[in-house]
Amino acid sequence: MASEASVNQKKPTPMFRSLISSLRYEHLTAGMAGGIASTLILHPLDLIKIRFAVDDGVIRSRPHYNGMLNAFGTIFSTEGVRGLYRGVTPNVWGAGSAWGLYFLFYGSIKSYMQDGDSQRDLGAARHMLAASEAGVLTLVVTNPIWVVKTRLCLQYTSDVSNLPESKKYGGMIDAFRKTYQYEGVRGLYKGFIPGVWGVSHGALQFMVYEQMKTAYNVRRGQAIDAKLSTFEYLQFAALSKLLAAFVTYPYQVVRARLQDHHVEYAGSMDVIRRILREEGWRGFYKGLAPNLTRVVPATAITFVVYETVSRWLKARTQRLNTPPPDPAEE
């Protein structure tokens, strides 16, 4: 009896089984495709955003830029095209895995909440809850990639010779190895706490995106999961991202500074205090212009690629799972 009870205890719960059964590879593949496409196109803007975000005016060896166009010109003239794509490898890995996992987790949690009925409206609060849960799960997996990406983006040609060997990175793998070797697991998870704050960014974005799609389909008398045109997906993705990016941007500044290998901070609150004391509230919005210039088209590209690839994969799966007609019945 005891052994039978222990076997029963080890069986997965109905909730767990339901969540697992809701996982769809279409969400993972389509999300990865969207994230990679947008990253390859717009990485230089991400690099410039990070360099603006960490520029506290204290470290004189950093290059200083007078606006976005000046940053482009300076980086290109001193570091070439390669300089504009510093950190692109971990960024592609990070964006691909982050968007893929985010859509996978979000689609699974959302499907579980809907009991498998894609036409059931969850409402704003439950959309936000699903997006928040998906965001935290994704961050746990991808935070080390973002640390490496930030450090490679902040490896300036002008100051490499002044850095200790432990902070000179020869690429993504070398950055992973040295960060872990000299700082341990804790080093790979720098910026995790403000990253958790940043989950509100994705939650707000997905809630607004879903609510706009739902309201639009209801208004035109269609099912809430009805397919939209590419232009409509672009509109809703861009508007939702613009709102979320503006409201939650300060967490990105705090996270970037914690991940910066040129400066040491005692934690998130230390970053916040120093920004307020030395730069004022404007310091929390450094790099906002290149960020908005990047994230709106990036998200639009990601969502359009995701929706297109996801629907194609679902249609393909449905065709493969549909048995051929019986010749005897024709």
Residue boundaries of the structural domains of the chain: 15-161+191-312
DSSP codes of every residue in 241-309: HHHHHHHHTHHHHHHHHHH-TTS--SSHHHHHHHHHHHT-GGGGGTTHHHHHHHHHHHHHHHHHHHHHH
| The predicted structure's pLDDT at residue 180 | 93
CB 271 within 8 A of CB 258: yes
Calpha distance 98→271 (Å, rounded):
25
pLDDT at residue 100 in the model: 82
pLDDT of residue 326: 55
CB neighbour list of residue 266: distance below 8 Å, 6 or more residues apart:
none
Give the other-Cβ count within 10 Å of 221's Cβ.
Answer: 7
Output the pLDDT for position 17.
Answer: 54
Contact indicator for 39, 117 with CB cutoff of 8 Å: no
The Cα–Cα gap between 322 and 63 comes to: 60
Q: How far apart are CA 17 and CA 99, in angstroms?
A: 24
- Residue 128 Cα to chain centre, angstroms: 16
Q: What is the pLDDT of residue 195?
A: 84
Radius of gyration (C-alpha) of the chain in whole angstroms: 22
- Please report the pLDDT score of residue 57 as a whole number: 67
- Alpha carbon dihedral 14, 19, 24, 30, in 10-degree steps, equals 180
Pair 175, 169: CB distance under 8 Å: yes
Count CB-CB contacts under 10 A for residue 122.
18
Q: What global pTM score does this model have? A: 0.60
pLDDT digit string (tens) for the chain, length 330 residues: 444 444 444 455 555 455 455 556 666 777 778 778 888 888 888 888 888 888 876 676 677 888 888 988 988 988 888 888 888 888 888 888 887 888 788 888 888 887 767 777 777 778 778 888 888 888 998 999 989 988 888 887 666 667 778 888 888 899 999 999 999 999 999 989 888 877 777 778 878 888 888 889 888 888 887 878 878 887 888 888 888 888 888 888 998 899 888 888 888 899 999 999 999 988 898 888 888 888 777 777 777 777 777 777 777 767 766 665 555 554
Q: Alpha carbon of 113 to those of 97, 109, 231, 269: distances in Å?
A: 24, 6, 29, 36
Rounded distance between C-alpha atoms, residue 277 and residue 286, angstroms: 15
The dotted CATH code for 15-161+191-312 is 1.50.40.10
How many beta carbons lie within 10 A of that of residue 171, not counting itself? 12
d(CA 295, CA 39): 10
Distance of alpha carbon 184 from alpha carbon 94, whole angstroms? 20
Helix, strand, coil percentages (3-state) for the chain, rounded to 5, are 80, 0, 20
* Distance from C-alpha of 187 to C-alpha of 26, rounded to nearest angstrom: 33
In whole angstroms, give the CA distance from residue 244 to residue 297.
14
- Quick one: pLDDT at residue 323? 64
